[in-house]
């Protein structure tokens, strides 16, 4: 009996963990969005206010953000230094393509990344700044949406995990 | 870094590929490289203009010439700025970007106006790479004329564009610096020091302080206040505000070394917009550069306009 009880607890716990892991996807997505927002803010400072060359901007951002976003900006700085691409958009897209598997982004988040890439080739500082600020607003809106969804999902997946665990335990009992 | 390496490092696209085919030694003799959309590429040497062909050969006739397209010019400028055209907004507004080694890349295109003033340049159509040469020792013959005991005479170097004003100025700065004079350089266009990321590409001596990329009139006054210089040097003096700053420097007891576009002393004074009497009172030496065949001669005048020397530059 003790053995069965221990097994049931183990099943409930593992299914709860599975539910928890599912619910964390939105959290990781939020973290990536937060890092992207930070990167765009840093971009305004480095590129628009200090007029740093793009490769240095990418390198600086890569040191100051975390996770996959840091890797994207690092790879972009390496590609930019090689001067092999025709424009900055191609550089950033290439860096994103290399690291896309490490991101928790959905298509609307990817759109933000590609919009950022597209704006990189703009020749005017004011326009660069306006585009970046617009992008930050967009990211904030997506974040808010994801945050609300994440709260709901967390409850849903946690409860579903526990309930599934109980169901399996009852069936096996 | 050789001149070729500096140019190749800064450039990109098909233009870089073509320049890469040209020999290292050839670059040492180039004065200008010109690329215009839809026209054969030129190179200017002291003995005239020649064509660059697609194999990187320099020819007298336009056979198999390299003809850049609009995309080539665009790519070149994008890569020249390190994909950061925005970072060079001010320079592009003035029509040129200075790259590592002090080489000046002139740019033409369609101007974008805002309130009647040039706001930026777009639709690039042509580039002119003016090769900067540091010729160490070219000012040695001139240097003795600049001294009155330990005092350095305020001096103006005068010549039309492309005759070697900046080259001579650069060497005089280096020589004065090596003689222990604290020389401060307001290098607005980065042509004198050829700075890149804050490091001077050209040798300006051991006692030289450089204010890179700063507007001349503000840079000169900042250097005067902060670096206690013996000599302040600037390239291509002109404009009301710069002249007012120079007057302030000259009355503060610091010597001044500058270049001015012009054919002779009188022309330079008119162009710089200085009052003749004031100019004569403070500037004690006027060096006029005259090109003849393969060499350049310097005619040195005192404040009264009397010729006190005639020296070969190179």
What value of ipTM does the predicted structure carry?
0.72
Candidates A48, A54, A128; nearest CB to B82: A54
Question: Inter-chain contact A128–B120, Cβ cutoff 8 Å?
Answer: no
Q: Please enumerate in sequence order all residues whose Cβ is within 8 A of that of A65, keeping only pairs 6 or more positions apart, or say none.
A: A35, A38, A39, A42, A73
**Which pLDDT tens digit goes with each residue over B257-294?**
999 888 888 888 777 676 766 677 788 999 999 887 67
Query: Which residues of chain A make contact with B84, given a CB cutoff of 8 A?
Result: 47, 51-54, 57, 88
Handedness of CA B52, B53, B59, B60 (dihedral sign): negative
Handedness of CA B227, B232, B238, B242 (dihedral sign): positive
Domains and CATH numbers, chain B: 3-130 (3.30.450), 143-312 (3.40.50.300)
**Which pLDDT tens digit goes with each residue over A140-166?**
999 999 888 888 877 787 788 778 888
8 A C-beta contact, residue B300 and residue B283: no
Domain ranges of chain A: 27-152
Q: Please enumerate in sequence order all residues whose Cβ is within 8 A of that of B23, keeping only pairs 6 or more positions apart, or say none.
A: B56
Residues from A in contact with B at Cβ < 8 Å: 47-48, 51-55, 57, 80, 83, 85-88, 91, 120-125, 128
Rounded to whole angstroms, the Cα distance separating B104 from B48 reads 20
- pLDDT tens, residue order, chain B (314 aa): 788 888 888 888 899 999 989 988 888 888 899 999 999 999 998 778 899 998 888 888 888 899 999 999 988 998 888 888 888 888 888 888 888 888 889 999 998 888 888 878 888 999 999 888 888 889 999 999 999 888 899 999 999 887 889 999 999 999 999 999 999 999 988 889 888 767 788 899 999 999 988 888 899 999 999 999 999 999 988 777 888 888 888 888 899 999 988 888 888 877 767 676 667 778 899 999 988 767 788 999 988 889 998 988 86
Q: What is the pTM of this model?
A: 0.73
């Amino acid at each position: 009996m003790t053995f069965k009880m221990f097994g049931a607890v183990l099943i409930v716990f593992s299914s709860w963990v599975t539910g928890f892991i599912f619910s964390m996807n939105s959290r990781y997505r939020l973290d990536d969005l937060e890092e992207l927002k930070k990167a765009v803010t840093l971009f305004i400072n480095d590129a628009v206010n200090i007029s740093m060359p793009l490769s240095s901007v990418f390198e600086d951002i890569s040191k100051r953000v975390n996770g996959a976003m840091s890797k994207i900006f690092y790879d972009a700085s390496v590609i930019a230094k090689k001067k092999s691409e025709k424009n900055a958009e191609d550089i950033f897209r290439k860096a994103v393509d290399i690291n896309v598997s490490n991101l928790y982004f959905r298509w609307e988040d990817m759109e933000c990344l590609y919009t950022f890439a597209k704006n990189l080739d703009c020749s005017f500082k004011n326009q660069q700044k306006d585009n970046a600020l617009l992008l930050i607003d967009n990211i904030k809106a997506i974040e808010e949406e994801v945050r609300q969804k994440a709260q709901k999902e967390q409850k849903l997946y946690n409860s579903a995990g526990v309930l599934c665990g109980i169901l399996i335990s009852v069936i096996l009992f | 870094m050789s001149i070729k390496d500096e140019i190749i490092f800064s450039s990109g696209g098909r233009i870089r590929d073509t320049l890469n085919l040209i020999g290292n030694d050839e670059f040492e003799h180039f004065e200008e490289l010109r690329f215009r959309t839809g026209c054969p590429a030129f190179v200017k040497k002291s003995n005239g203009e020649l064509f660059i062909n697609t194999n990187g050969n320099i020819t007298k006739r336009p056979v198999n010439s390299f003809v850049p397209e609009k995309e080539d010019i665009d790519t070149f400028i994008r890569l020249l700025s390190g994909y950061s055209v925005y970072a060079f907004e001010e320079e592009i507004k003035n029509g040129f970007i200075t790259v590592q080694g002090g080489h000046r890349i002139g740019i033409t295109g369609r101007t974008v106006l805002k309130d009647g003033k040039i706001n930026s340049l777009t639709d690039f159509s042509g580039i002119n790479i003016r090769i900067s040469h540091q010729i160490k020792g070219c000012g040695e013959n001139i240097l003795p004329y600049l001294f009155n005991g330990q005092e350095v005479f305020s001096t103006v170097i005068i010549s039309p564009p492309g005759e070697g004003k900046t080259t001579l100025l650069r060497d005089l700065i280096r020589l004065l610096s090596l003689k222990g004079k604290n020389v401060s350089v307001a290098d607005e266009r980065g042509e004198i020091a050829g700075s890149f990321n804050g490091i001077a590409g050209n040798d300006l001596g051991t006692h030289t302080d450089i204010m890179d990329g700063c507007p001349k009139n503000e840079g000169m006054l900042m250097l005067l206040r902060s670096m206690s210089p013996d000599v302040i040097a600037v390239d291509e003096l002109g404009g009301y505000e710069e002249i007012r700053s120079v007057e302030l420097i000259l009355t503060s007891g610091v010597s001044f070394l500058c270049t001015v576009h012009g054919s002779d002393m009188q022309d330079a004074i008119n162009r710089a917009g200085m009052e003749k009497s004031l100019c004569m009172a403070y500037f004690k030496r006027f060096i006029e550069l005259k090109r003849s065949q393969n060499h350049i001669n310097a005619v040195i005048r005192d404040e009264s306009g009397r010729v006190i020397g005639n020296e070969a530059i190179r």
